[in-house]
Amino acid sequence: MGSPATVGILFGQERTFPQALAAQINERSGGKVVARPVRVAAMRLDDRPADDVILDRISQDVPFYRTFLKAAAARGAQVINNPFWWSADDKFTDNIIAEAVGVAVPRTVLLPHRDHPTGTTADSFTNLVYPIDWHEVFSYLGFPIFLKPAYGGGWKDVYKVDNTGEFFAAFARTHSLCMIAQEAIQFTEYYRCYCLGRSQVRVMRYDPKVPHEHRYVRGAPPIDPALEKRITRDCLALCDALGYDFNTLEFAIRDGIPYAIDFMNPAPDADLHSVGPDNFAWVISQAAEFLIERALSPRPFEATGSWPMQLNGDQGKVAAAGVARSRRTPTAKKRA
């Protein structure tokens, strides 16, 4: 009998989710899978990953970890979520992909940097149309507007502005960040959803207007079944298109339509004290089941999700062919 498969958990300041998840995996797997914290030091080119599956909870903040995860994936480990696509992903492109799979999104504009990025000058922007036609931007979006980093999460550097004065004051604080501007959806209901393994969805009532620790609504009224079905469908469509196996997605409901507000959260909050006991129990259970299955039944390496197949035109067909080839070329080895 071979040694058990291993699931490594790479995390930072978390103190409830990683420990509970490891305990759940070790209890459920009957000795076939061992879950443990990832151990990583200075890495040589010939080093091999010590774990069959790695769940990434922190590399968005630590470039060293991101490079380590890419190397581990290149050496055959299954990394959740894909560090290559996650490194390339951005919120503006995601909105294009969302529309391609039939998910409603707010009107959105990609903005040039407010300040020159480090190492550039005005001469670096020969191709930029300047000055920006701000009147056209504001007419298209309407106020209020949300300013968000195209690359980022955790509500960092996010601003809601109600007029041009507030917009330019907030935009000045973004410095060299690449930002998007979105219309603010005036919602009647708001939901945050876990989506695991591109198959399991938990729809949770959420209030983004209150302090972080109170945003998951306790004792919320039941959701309309038709709305829940639509949100579940949108979650699955987005995660399949983007290739994320552990994600949270947020939807603002306007006139009965769920608008995807934030759906690039591949290391989402799963802390007991913020999500609450019921949601915590669900995510621990589903994550354990998914990771055990992935450790025992490795899948071929996947460069990204199915989004190239959703695009129209010849470019989408060519890209889709490349994705199909990548799915037929396994890199992870079955354990003895």
* pLDDT band of 312, cuts 50, 70, 90: low
What single-letter amino acid sits at 275? V
Q: Give the pLDDT confidence score for residue 274 in this predicted structure.
A: 94
Is residue 233 in a domain? Answer: no
Residues 115-135 pLDDT 10s: 999 999 999 999 999 999 999
End-to-end CA distance of the chain: 8
> How far apart are the C-alpha atoms of 158 and 91, rounded to whole Å?
13
CA distance 91 to 85: 13
Q: Are 266 and 86 in contact (CB under 8 A)?
A: yes
What's the whole-number mean pLDDT along residues 258-281? Answer: 96
Q: Are strands 189-196 and 200-205 parallel, antiparallel or unpaired?
A: antiparallel
Q: Which of 154, 183, 212 is the last residue of a domain?
A: 183
Alpha-carbon span 67 to 56, nearest angstrom = 12
33 plus 84 within the same structural domain: yes
Domain coverage including residue 139: 107-183
The pLDDT assigned to 319 comes to 47
Nearest by Cα to 102 from 235, 282, 294, 264: 235
Within-domain flag for 41: yes
DSSP state of 35: E
Q: What is the pLDDT of residues 136-148, one digit of tens each?
A: 999 999 999 999 9
Query: Are the C-beta atoms of 115 and 125 separated by less than 8 Å?
Result: no
The confidence score (pLDDT) of residue 161 equals: 98
CATH number of the domain residue 65 falls in: 3.40.50.20
**Phi first, then psi: what are they for 86, rounded to 5°?**
-60, -35
Kindly indicate the confidence band of residue 328, based on its pLDDT and cuts at 50, 70 and 90: very low
The whole-number average pLDDT for the span 237-243 is 97
Do 117 and 169 lie in one domain? The reply is yes
| 16-44: burial string, b at 16+ Cβ within 10 Å, e else | ebbebbbebbbeebeeebbbeebebeeee
> Does residue 77 sit in the same domain as residue 116?
no
Question: Which tokens sit at 140?
Answer: 């298209």
Same domain? 74 vs 118:
no
Does residue 219 form part of some domain? no
For residue 252, the model assigns a pLDDT of: 98
134 within a domain of the structure (yes/no): yes
Classify residue 213: in a domain, yes or no.
no
332 pLDDT more than 60: no
- CA angle (164 as vertex; 155, 138 as ends), nearest 5: 85
At 132, phi and psi to the nearest 5? -65, 140
For residue 1, the model assigns a pLDDT of 59
Residue 167 has pLDDT above 60, yes or no: yes
pLDDT bracket for residue 154 (50, 70, 90): confident
- Any idea how long the chain is? 336
Q: Tell me if 216 is assigned to some domain.
A: no
Q: Give the pLDDT of residue 153.
A: 76
In this structure, the answer to whether residues 67 and 117 fall within a common structural domain is: no
Residues 119, 83 share a domain = no
The two tokens of residue 223 are 């959701």
- The continuous run of DSSP H or E covering 289 comes out as helix 277-296
Confidence class for position 212, pLDDT limits 50, 70, 90: confident
pTM (2 decimals)?
0.91
Identity (one letter) of the amino acid at 65? Y
- Given this model, what pLDDT does residue 9 score? 98
For the residues 75-86, what does the mean pLDDT come to? 97
Return contacts of 84-88, CB within 8 angstroms, 24+ apart.
84/303, 84/304, 85/242, 85/243, 85/303, 85/304, 85/305, 86/59, 86/60, 86/266
Average pLDDT, the chain: 92
Please check the confidence at residue 300 and state whether its pLDDT lies above 90: yes
Domain membership flag for residue 21: yes
d(CA 286, CA 202): 10
* pLDDT reading at 316 higher than 70: no
| Cα dihedral 151, 274, 250, 208 in deg (nearest 10) | -90
Contacts (Cβ under 8 Å, ≥6 apart) of 177:
113, 114, 149, 152, 157
Overall average pLDDT of the 192-209 stretch:
97
Q: Are residues 10 and 83 in the same domain?
A: yes
What's the structural domain count of the chain?
2
pLDDT of residue 324: 45
- Domain termination site, one of 39, 59, 88: 88
Of residues 309 and 319, which shows the higher confidence score?
309
% of the chain at pLDDT higher than 70: 92
Residue 295 · residue 33 · CB < 8 Å: yes
Q: Contact 111/180 with Cβ under 8 angstroms?
A: yes
Helix 17-28 and helix 277-296, axial crossing angle in degrees, nearest 10:
50
Q: Which of 156, 183, 210 represents a domain boundary (last residue)?
A: 183
Q: Kindly tell me if the per-residue pLDDT of 103 is higher than 70.
A: yes
Model pLDDT, residue 152: 80
Residue 105 has pLDDT above 70, yes or no: yes
Mean pLDDT of 71-78: 97
Assigned domain for 319 exists: no
Question: For residue 56, which of 12, 92, 23, 26 has the smallest C-alpha distance?
Answer: 12
The predicted pLDDT at position 156 comes to 87
Q: How many CA atoms lie within 13 A of 144 on its CB side?
A: 12
Average pLDDT score over residue span 331-336: 37
My answer on whether 12 and 77 are in the same domain is: yes
Q: Read off the CATH number of the domain in which 136 is found.
A: 3.30.1490
- Quick one: pLDDT at residue 325? 41
